[in-house]
Structure 1
Amino acid sequence: MGFLKNWLSSKKRTKQLNEIAAQQNLTATLEENRSFLATIFKGCSDVVFHDFTIFGQISAVLIYIEGLVDKEKLDQNVLTPLLNKTGEPFSINTVSGVIPVSNIKELNYIEEIIDEISNGHPILLLDHQKKGISLGLTQLEHRAIEEPPAESVIRGPREGFTELLTINTSLLRRRIKSPQLKVKNIVVGRYTRTKIGVYYIEGIAEKSLIKEVMRRLDKIYMDGILGSGYIEELIEDQSNSLFPQILSTERPDVVVSYLLEGHVTILCDGNPVALVVPITLFSFLQSSEDYAQKFMIGSLIRWLRYISVAIVLLLPSTYVALLTYHQEMIPTSLLLTIAKSREQIPFPALFEALLMEITFEALREAGVRLPQQLGTAISIVGALVIGQAATAAGLVSSPMVMVVAITGVASFLLPHYPIGITLRILRFPIMFLAGMLGLLGIILGIIAIVIHLCSLRSFGVPYLTPIVPMVKQDLKDVLYRSPIWARNKRPHSTSKQNPIRQSPGQKPEAENEEELHSD
């Protein structure tokens, strides 16, 4: 009981301190401000309170978190000028002229002081002054900009987002050199105080969409946000659906392409994954490399992905249905071959398919979790060894191994991991339906999936747009990859107020072929 009482009193005290901090202004007495902040940061051994005197008369304190501040610049640009300054006492308004730091911000409230210290900015407080100064001398360790391993391309930029929000913002600013690119920052998480950036192009993105994104983000109230996955789950339209309703990417060029179409992007400090809204099903079947190749090649690759979706979702189920209920649909010679290979197999086709699919998925996940040098080798060698051993032991037939292998290869063609894992999961219930009802079960499964997809929305945009509902002008970037010179309008669902992307007549052609040949 004593522990519970102490815990409750500590919780109540923390709540009271937070409420006081949210309302309290800085006073003109340095000792009061210092004492209150010392109480707030009690038990934080990495928070430094450095007391010193300016001119031998003015008491001052410098507050910062060790490890988040560039101490060399702090000594050189702050302490040295202030300690060596001679002359008459000066007010806080003249400090900016003495300290050679460009990013200086005046603060009036205790809550602002706490936020700045927690974000790594050193704070300078002076006696007889009701304002504090935040100094932009944060130094955060971060990894270099490199190509995202999950979204590598043959032809295209090699840059990917990092964990620092400021660097990610600069990567977008480098590509969109216009003041119309707007950024709204909010802080989420009572303890983590995670900064979230919302990006859009003013004049292209719909105002209603921006307002809805901000509304959903403002509703988030929890202890902490540890990544963009938290945000995705908290703001998506239907969290009980297997299908992803928000596009995640680590590539700045992909984000820029969506921003230019009227989408809104969300970036979370401490996470390199950007979230793009709204989105449709067909966005997950497109790759940035489609637009780095000729439009005919891009269209063929895109159709290959559509075929791979059908293979991943239906091939094992179709094999089980035909083998169990519809043998008359299999060519006689092929049926005899399959029957011969299954002579020693003691299990029905459904159990055989489930056994191989689960084994293949386990090997795939093992390859992802293991170190990169070992993962690929083990997943490939493991699949070959286990498949050969299972066939030799009479547990599975050779045709089933081939069906599972083709399905696995097809799943690697999908450019976005979330849609790939969704299809891989859905093929299991469809296999059960095929094992119980044959082709009728597969048809019922497809109907259920289509009905579900028709009910999905991503920030108000139907998930199957532009097919359901039909938007003819947007079909040219779904059924095939339209040429760059033919993409005169933006998607109708995201940029109704500013639909014109480029002027017509962009198709390249020689102005005077006769003069060209004569030269």
Structure 2
Amino acid sequence: MFFRSPKRKKQNNQGQENFTTGLYNSLELNIENIKKILDQPDDLVTRKFAIGENGHTCAIVYIDGLTDTKVINDEIMKNLQIELEEVDKSSVQSDAALLDKLSRQFISISNVKKVKTLDDLSLAILSGDTALFVDGIDQLLLIDTKNWKSRNIEEPVSEGTIRGPRDGFTENIRTNTMLLRRRIRDANLRFKSYQIGRRSRKSLIVSYIDGVVHPNLLKEVNRRLETIDVDDAPESGYIEQWIEDNFLSPFPQMQNTERPDKVAAALTEGKIAIILDGTPFVLIAPATFGSMMHSPEDYYERWMIGSLLRVLRYFAAFLAVFLPALYIALVSYHPGLIPSKLAFSIAATREGLPFPAVIEALLMEITMELLREAGIRLPKPIGQTIGIVGGLVIGEAAVSAGIVSPVMVIIVAVTAIASFSLPSYSFAISIRMLRFGFMIAAAFFGLYGIILAYIMVNIHIVNLKSFGIPYSTPFAPAFKGDWKDLVLRVPITMMNRRPKFLQTEDEKRIDKEDKS
């Protein structure tokens, strides 16, 4: 049942240009070829110089802006031109030995390697490395001099908390792996590297804890990543859409987060993190319905507070999906189910309205969605004003014009507040999509339509999988031991086992016997 592969056409990643031509003995030919491959870019720096008393001709090649020029000048050029003693090429047994001598004695950088093909050379230079050529040798040294400008570590914008760490992922993949290593100082923490994109050749890292993660889950994640065949993956959303189980589902089948503490907690549970260079959003697999309702703050507060917050979120999710649909069903088909005084009050506010309840609700919900999107796209100071003031002004104007009832404005406002309470932005969008489906079902069949739509959604959820794990786990299939951390959260001292549905190799989270 678990870790079943989705039905997907097998792809490959062989579409990129592949310069497997070996290097020449001639320095001039090698430099000419790399310039030809890159089409004579203005930011390609080539510096020729001589080393040793015999004047061996050398050259360094790098891309300006991707490298640390201070390191190049102080740790490469200065050592080779000033501090280098005589290197007699005839005294060296082989050309490779000469490169080894330069690497060992005169280049004060730890990450240095030899390459012998144009493919390795072009990719390394475009990644920020510096190439060192020596005339007469068909190999070269690649020296790690990367120094990309990146954003400083800041508080996550999309996942704010009152209590908890304030650092968030950045667009630099090495900064992101550093943030994880700071939190998990385990020798079994693994980072497996990939290159994604036929043209972009971006770095992607799969992170997991060896000895905890299930081998089949890791194998399945790696298999799907190896099928990716795109020109470029500018954001982790491309990766998510490529490797998810069901692209027709409205529910996200992977979590995305800017919070290192959330990723670290997922890794210790036995999940896998996917980190893509160039984006602060890290993917967590697999995902379940329950995990989408959890927030890191649930664990930083005492268990009673964390449990209360989760109950409020589930209630908010119920309101965000069902409240407008229930209003439509009760007003249009089942007014007898409404208490008499409330029914008279609603009828009085709806007197003279030109539209039925469903049109009224759709108009207000669409308007609220437009305001929400406008608030996101506009500059922050203006966006906040548009979102709050715009909603109040339009709602009041609509009531004054006799287009909608005051009750409808209240329902739409409560629904919007409830959807904002959900911790996962992607999951909240799914809830907003379902809301319109339930409203249409209520407009046609009343409460029966809502019940039918609810059954259909449940059938879809129990059949949906995330990397072979049922999306409804641990509700169904039921893993009662995992209910300790589902809707309610028990005290930390009682959460001594990792989630059973992940089938982790190391089940114990706390080294004591499970007395539950």
TM interval, shorter chain, is over 0.9
- Describe the shift of the 1:153–1:139 C-alpha distance in structure 2 as closer, same or farther (beyond 3 A): same
Once residues 203 and 391 of structure 1 are traced to their aligned partners in structure 2, the CA distance between those partners, rounded to angstroms, is 61
Number of residue-to-residue matches in the alignment:
491
1:342 aligns to 2:340 (yes or no): no
1:188 counterpart (190, 196, 211): 196
1:150 aligns to 2:148 (yes or no): no
Once residues 86 and 192 of structure 1 are traced to their aligned partners in structure 2, the CA distance between those partners, rounded to angstroms, is 41
Q: Corresponding residue for 2:463?
A: 455
Once residues 18 and 388 of structure 1 are traced to their aligned partners in structure 2, the CA distance between those partners, rounded to angstroms, is 60
Q: Corresponding residue for 2:415?
A: 407
Asked if 2 retains the 8 angstrom alpha-carbon contact of 1:106 and 1:133, the reply is yes
Q: Corresponding residue for 1:233?
A: 241
Per-residue Cα deviation, 1:291-311 (whole angstroms, up to 9, x for no partner): 011101111110111111110
Q: Corresponding residue for 1:320?
A: 328
Per-residue Cα deviation, 1:14-36 (whole angstroms, up to 9, x for no partner): x99944x22x3323332332232
- Please show how residues 285-304 of structure 1 align to structure 2 within 5 Å: 285-304=293-312
- Describe the shift of the 1:17–1:367 C-alpha distance in structure 2 as closer, same or farther (beyond 3 A): closer
Deviation of 1:373 after TM superposition, in Å, equals: 1.4
Match of 1:151, SS state, is coil
- Please show how residues 191-202 of structure 1 align to structure 2 within 5 Å: 191-202=199-210
Once residues 18 and 291 of structure 1 are traced to their aligned partners in structure 2, the CA distance between those partners, rounded to angstroms, is 48
Q: Corresponding residue for 1:135?
A: 143
1:392 aligns to 2:400 (yes or no): yes
What one-letter code is carried by the residue in structure 2 that aligns with 1:440? Y
1:109 counterpart (117, 120, 136): 117
- Please show how residues 13-412 of structure 1 align to structure 2 within 5 Å: 18-19=17-18, 21-22=19-20, 24-55=21-52, 57-84=55-82, 85-89=84-88, 91-96=98-103, 97-412=105-420
Once residues 159 and 324 of structure 1 are traced to their aligned partners in structure 2, the CA distance between those partners, rounded to angstroms, is 50
Once residues 497 and 73 of structure 1 are traced to their aligned partners in structure 2, the CA distance between those partners, rounded to angstroms, is 44
Once residues 382 and 477 of structure 2 are traced to their aligned partners in structure 1, the CA distance between those partners, rounded to angstroms, is 46
Asked if 2 retains the 8 angstrom alpha-carbon contact of 1:264 and 1:276, the reply is yes
Asked if 2 retains the 8 angstrom alpha-carbon contact of 1:261 and 1:495, the reply is no
Once residues 308 and 266 of structure 1 are traced to their aligned partners in structure 2, the CA distance between those partners, rounded to angstroms, is 30
Once residues 153 and 126 of structure 1 are traced to their aligned partners in structure 2, the CA distance between those partners, rounded to angstroms, is 55
Match of 1:260, SS state, is helix
Once residues 493 and 407 of structure 1 are traced to their aligned partners in structure 2, the CA distance between those partners, rounded to angstroms, is 33
Per-residue Cα deviation, 1:171-201 (whole angstroms, up to 9, x for no partner): 0011111110000011011111110010000
Once residues 302 and 146 of structure 1 are traced to their aligned partners in structure 2, the CA distance between those partners, rounded to angstroms, is 27
Asked if 2 retains the 8 angstrom alpha-carbon contact of 1:17 and 1:40, the reply is no
Indicate the larger mover: 318-327 or 488-497: 488-497
Q: Corresponding residue for 2:425?
A: 417
Once residues 78 and 114 of structure 1 are traced to their aligned partners in structure 2, the CA distance between those partners, rounded to angstroms, is 20
- Describe the shift of the 1:58–1:171 C-alpha distance in structure 2 as closer, same or farther (beyond 3 A): same
Asked if 1 retains the 8 angstrom alpha-carbon contact of 2:206 and 2:274, the reply is yes
What one-letter code is carried by the residue in structure 2 that aligns with 1:144? N
Higher relative contact order (CA 8 A, sep 6+): 2
Match of 2:290, SS state, is helix
Indicate the larger mover: 75-84 or 410-419: 75-84
Match of 2:502, SS state, is coil
Once residues 17 and 350 of structure 1 are traced to their aligned partners in structure 2, the CA distance between those partners, rounded to angstroms, is 53
Asked if 1 retains the 8 angstrom alpha-carbon contact of 2:59 and 2:134, the reply is yes
Runs of 5+ consecutive residues of structure 1 not aligned to the other structure: 1-14, 508-519
What one-letter code is carried by the residue in structure 1 that aligns with 2:37? I
User: Which runs of 4 or more aligned residues in structure 1 lie more than 3 Å from their structure 2 counterparts after TM superposition?
Assistant: 15-19
Indicate the larger mover: 440-449 or 76-85: 76-85
- Describe the shift of the 1:89–1:419 C-alpha distance in structure 2 as closer, same or farther (beyond 3 A): same
What one-letter code is carried by the residue in structure 1 that aligns with 2:74? Q
What is the TM-score when the length of structure 1 is the normalising length? 0.92
Asked if 2 retains the 8 angstrom alpha-carbon contact of 1:284 and 1:415, the reply is yes
Once residues 266 and 152 of structure 1 are traced to their aligned partners in structure 2, the CA distance between those partners, rounded to angstroms, is 22
Q: Corresponding residue for 1:443?
A: 451
Match of 2:72, SS state, is helix
Once residues 140 and 109 of structure 2 are traced to their aligned partners in structure 1, the CA distance between those partners, rounded to angstroms, is 15
Match of 2:274, SS state, is strand
Once residues 345 and 271 of structure 1 are traced to their aligned partners in structure 2, the CA distance between those partners, rounded to angstroms, is 49
Match of 1:281, SS state, is coil
Deviation of 1:472 after TM superposition, in Å, equals: 1.0
Deviation of 1:101 after TM superposition, in Å, equals: 1.7
Deviation of 1:134 after TM superposition, in Å, equals: 1.2
Asked if 1 retains the 8 angstrom alpha-carbon contact of 2:16 and 2:198, the reply is no
Indicate the larger mover: 322-331 or 486-495: 486-495
Identical pairs, percent: 42
What one-letter code is carried by the residue in structure 1 that aligns with 2:63? I
Deviation of 1:276 after TM superposition, in Å, equals: 0.3
Asked if 2 retains the 8 angstrom alpha-carbon contact of 1:246 and 1:277, the reply is yes
Indicate the larger mover: 174-183 or 497-506: 497-506
Deviation of 1:363 after TM superposition, in Å, equals: 0.8
Deviation of 1:332 after TM superposition, in Å, equals: 1.1
What one-letter code is carried by the residue in structure 1 that aligns with 2:149? E
Deviation of 1:434 after TM superposition, in Å, equals: 0.4
What one-letter code is carried by the residue in structure 2 that aligns with 1:35? E
Asked if 2 retains the 8 angstrom alpha-carbon contact of 1:485 and 1:505, the reply is no
Once residues 356 and 302 of structure 1 are traced to their aligned partners in structure 2, the CA distance between those partners, rounded to angstroms, is 28
Once residues 297 and 171 of structure 1 are traced to their aligned partners in structure 2, the CA distance between those partners, rounded to angstroms, is 28
- Describe the shift of the 1:387–1:16 C-alpha distance in structure 2 as closer, same or farther (beyond 3 A): closer
Deviation of 1:505 after TM superposition, in Å, equals: 7.1
Indicate the larger mover: 234-243 or 85-94: 85-94
Per-residue Cα deviation, 1:31-86 (whole angstroms, up to 9, x for no partner): 33223222211242211222222235211121100111111221122112212223
Once residues 202 and 108 of structure 1 are traced to their aligned partners in structure 2, the CA distance between those partners, rounded to angstroms, is 34
Once residues 308 and 459 of structure 2 are traced to their aligned partners in structure 1, the CA distance between those partners, rounded to angstroms, is 28
Asked if 1 retains the 8 angstrom alpha-carbon contact of 2:15 and 2:198, the reply is no
